[in-house]
Structure 1
Amino acid sequence: MSHKHASAGTPATAALTKAGVPFEVRAYEHDPAQTQFGLEAAEALGVDPARVFKTLMVQVEGRLAVAVVPVSGNLDLKACAAAFGAKKAAMADPRDAERRTGYVLGGISPLGQRQPSPTVIDSSALEHDRILVSGGRRGLDIELSPADLQTLTRAVIAPIGSPGQR
């Protein structure tokens, strides 16, 4: 009863399979020149960017945390800090994010991280039956229900996204 395919096996898909959570692997050809990983995924997969979520690592009062927001917008750091009961948050150093999660930038999944961190998911995720998050490497997304994502990451839900200008 494995959802894993040799080409798609990552710690994120392994965590979902182990938990018995239904999910769909959505792979696409990643363009190495692309730096807008989430928007690239939405376009390549033909999915509304409001349903594709990026995983960002933030520093909140000296500890790393995870913020999951739609690729169509930005993270509101003040709202993110408030969701964790803190006064301020800042983007984490990319090297710290990679070390903590075991994933590379553009492929950081909220699931199957080397060292799980407190997580907050933007409340807009609940507007969709299914959302997409990184599957653990560039060019690989996972489609699942926001409720399953919340359960597996033990996330809080809060309005942490802001519309983007990109």
Structure 2
Amino acid sequence: MMAKKATVGTPATLALARAGIPFTPHAYEHDPAAGSFGLEAAEALGVPPERVFKTLIARADAVVVVGIVPVVGRLDLKALAAAVGAKRAVLADAAVAERRTGYVVGGISPIAQRSRLRTVLDASACDFETVYVSGGRRGLDIELTPEDLITATGATLARIGRD
């Protein structure tokens, strides 16, 4: 008799389940040679890349914050700073991002981070019934409504993405 392979939850999926927030996990085979984790996810899952969002960690003045933007665009650091009431924002170092979130780069989920960070979701997320974000490890995205993503992260909405 073969033992079933146990599926181990991530902090993000466990937190969503505990909170009763509906989501759909989507696993795919991660290619370590992929140039963009988000575009890789969109292609592997057969989803328009505008619906797949990346989680970026930045320093806004002296505070570490989260920006969630479509993988097809870039984070507008000036817009992010304005959204959190800061003068300026810069992307955080990978080591800072990993330490503050508890996730590895390429698998940073906006949900259930080690530290509760101020989070801003790009307003374009509301253009879709559901969006995809990292599930907390490379090769795992979770699909949920923008409203549920806002609930799970405490995010505010602002136009922080650019092409």
Matched with 2:152 is 152
- 1:128 Cα offset (Å): 0.4
Q: How many residue pairs were aligned?
A: 159
Which ranges of structure 1 fall in alignment gaps of 5 or more residues? none
> Any runs of at least 4 consecutive aligned residues in structure 1 with deviations exceeding 3 A, and if so which?
none
- 1:151 Cα offset (Å): 1.2
Matched with 2:138 is 138
What are the residue-to-residue correspondences of 1:155-166 with 2, within 5 Å?
A: 155-163=155-163
1:38 maps to a residue whose letter is G
Which ranges of structure 2 fall in alignment gaps of 5 or more residues? none
1:35 maps to a residue whose letter is G
- 1:8 Cα offset (Å): 4.7
TM-score, normalised via structure 2 length? 0.95
Matched with 1:44 is 44
- 1:155 Cα offset (Å): 0.7
SS at match of 2:149: helix
- 1:7 Cα offset (Å): 2.6
**Could you tell me how far apart the structure 2 residues matched to 1:23 and 1:10 are?**
13
**Could you tell me how far apart the structure 2 residues matched to 1:20 and 1:12 are?**
12
Q: Which has the larger radius of gyration?
A: 2
**Could you tell me how far apart the structure 2 residues matched to 1:15 and 1:130 are?**
18
1:32-75 deviations in Å (ceiling 9; x for gaps): 11130000000000000000000000001111110000001000
2:42 maps to a residue whose letter is A
Q: Is the 8 A contact 1:8 1:140 kept in 2?
A: no
**Could you tell me how far apart the structure 2 residues matched to 1:6 and 1:118 are?**
34
1:136 maps to a residue whose letter is G
1:78-109 deviations in Å (ceiling 9; x for gaps): 00100001111000011010011110000000
